[in-house]
């Protein structure tokens, strides 16, 4: 697909994406990527791969407004299926303060993608290891200040005497 045809397809997908109000960024990108793959596959199987055939595939696929409305209806039906999922802020707070509970909530929530769930699982572990390594390397850097404390005491005593 040449640059001009790619631009036509991107404009169509952008129009759909802009109409997906309330959907998360990840959900929008996933949905438009799925549409893109479907449209490209259909265009590549057409008799002629030119601008006219791309417009034909896009027009057959549908109006961006209707596609966005259908997707949002599907999302709202999914949310109304009787299962209540925790809000994202709660999952993040529990992940920070009560790691296992936050991770369980993240993994059962359909709002989180697989990549997000893995990141939510690994961030506390990596943070722990960074602090552990930091404390291991910081130990040799501590100084014994006892020899200097006698010098400081002598300076203070000498100052008191001179006053």
**Burial (0-12, 13-18, 19+ Cβ within 10 Å), 4:** exposed
Would the pTM of this model clear 0.85, i.e. be above it? no
What pLDDT was estimated at residue 11?
A: 92
Dihedral angle computed from the Cα positions of residues 132, 138, 144 and 145, in that order, rounded to the nearest 10 degrees: -110
Instruction: Give the model's confidence band at 20: pLDDT under 50 very low, under 70 low, under 90 confident, else very high.
Output: confident
Tens of pLDDT, residues 21-45: 877 788 888 888 999 998 899 988 8
């Amino acid at each position: 697909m040449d640059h001009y045809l790619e631009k036509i397809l991107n404009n169509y997908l952008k129009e759909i994406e802009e109409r997906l109000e309330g959907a998360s960024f990840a959900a929008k990108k996933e949905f438009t990527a799925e549409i893109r793959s479907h449209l490209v596959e259909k265009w590549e199987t057409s008799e002629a791969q030119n601008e006219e055939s791309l417009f034909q595939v896009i027009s057959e696929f549908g109006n961006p407004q209707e596609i966005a409305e259908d997707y949002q209806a599907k999302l709202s039906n999914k949310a109304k299926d009787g299962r209540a999922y925790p809000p994202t802020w709660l999952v993040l707070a529990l992940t920070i303060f009560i790691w296992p509970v936050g991770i369980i909530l993240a993994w059962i929530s359909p709002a989180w993608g697989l990549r997000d769930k893995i990141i939510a699982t690994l961030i506390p572990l990596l943070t722990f290891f960074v602090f552990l390594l930091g404390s291991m390397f910081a130990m040799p850097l501590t100084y014994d200040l006892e020899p200097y404390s006698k010098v400081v005491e002598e300076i203070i005593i000498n100052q008191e005497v001179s006053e």
